[in-house]
Amino acid sequence: MTVFRLGYVAMSVHLQNASPSQTMTYRQFSSIKDEEAAIKKLERIAISNLQNCLRLLKHNAINDIYFFRLSSKLIPLVNHPDLPNWDYILPLKPLLFQLGEFVSKHNMRIDFHPDHFVVLNNEDKDILKTSLKTLQMHERLLRGMKVNTEHRCVLHVGGVYNDKEQALEQFISNWGLIPLKWQKMIMLENDDTNFTLNEVLYLCEKLSIPCVFDLHHHIVHNEKDSWEEYWERIVQTWSHSSLPIKMHISSPRTNEKDRAHADYINSEQFLEFLTRVDGTVPQIDCMIEAKKKDDALFELVKDLKKKENIVFIDEASFRFIK
């Protein structure tokens, strides 16, 4: 039987004043005449974001939530070209270490989903360079937490650029330019507009990258095929990873083909998926991408607890009863 573990993304609707994504624009930064004072303000914001991350992780631990996506906006202006010499990690080291200790103590799985501007299949070397700087930032944060960096960053393939086949081959070509330590961080996800599950699996199998299956994305963007015919291939991409299979779950806001995420999860649709994959692997970590964040997780748990054939291991992990 498969253990299913639930997680959610970045922020809580139950914790007040706990945003991990507080920011500062470059215009605001530039308005401070003393550059050292301006840098200190950036650092105070980053420290506040990390403190809120720790609050979120404590909230999660109390509620048995051991799977969580950290915000990629922890450090404002982190890769701005006019701040090339800012050692942003140094003032954050004590808090990063504290976060890592808490994660380790509670055996939590944490990861990131860098923003859409991290593109690895563009021919423009400057765009690739900027993307790699963002990956480096994520690596430095993870290393500061003493967290194993393997398979901690979910990415989309990137743009189509009027030629999908060439865009896929460009990804492969650019992959050879990426240092191995950053390659090991990456997982690839099927998206809702550009690259289907089949196309993402092509890259994952060729380059030994784990495939993060997004059920909602497959429903709205597929080649008129069922996800079930790809399941064994998805599983196989995780065979070399030390982490359990990861997937994304969300529900359309209106009709089935709506790409927008709903506030909550359609538990019946999710349950249908679960029954089909149960027993195929030891564990699946399910990241909830819903507008209501942790409340969506809590409501999904309430719905699943009504099912007679499901037993909960803790407040966010469960399995089926045979």
Taking only the tens place, the pLDDT of each residue in 189-248 is 999 999 999 999 999 999 999 999 999 999 999 978 899 999 999 999 999 999 999 999
pLDDT tens for 38-70 read 999 999 999 999 999 999 999 999 999 999 999
Model confidence pTM above 0.75: yes
Rounded CA-CA distance 244/237 in Å is: 11
Please say if the pLDDT value at position 256 is more than 90: no
81-110: burial string, b at 16+ Cβ within 10 Å, e else: eebeebebbeebeebbebbbebbeeeebbb
Q: Is the C-alpha dihedral spanning 165, 170, 175, 178 positive or negative?
A: negative
Concatenating the DSSP letter of every residue in 158-225 gives ---TT-HHHHHHHHHHHHTTS-HHHHTTEEEE--SSS--HHHHHHHHHHHT--EEEEHHHHHHS-SS-
pLDDT, one tens digit per residue, over 85-132 is 999 999 999 999 999 999 999 999 999 999 888 999 999 999 999 999
Task: Determine the structural domain holding residue 22 and report its residue range.
Answer: 3-320
Structural domain tally of the chain? 1
Average pLDDT, the chain: 96
Confidence at residue 199, expressed as pLDDT on a 0 to 100 scale: 98
Instruction: Let me know if 251 is exposed, middle or buried by CB neighbors in 10 A (0-12, 13-18, 19+).
Output: buried
Residue 82 and residue 26 in contact, taking contact as beta carbons nearer than 8 Å:
yes
pLDDT of residue 184: 98
Give the pLDDT score at 259: 87
Domain CATH number, residue 194: 3.20.20.150
Asked if pLDDT for residue 312 goes beyond 90, the answer is yes
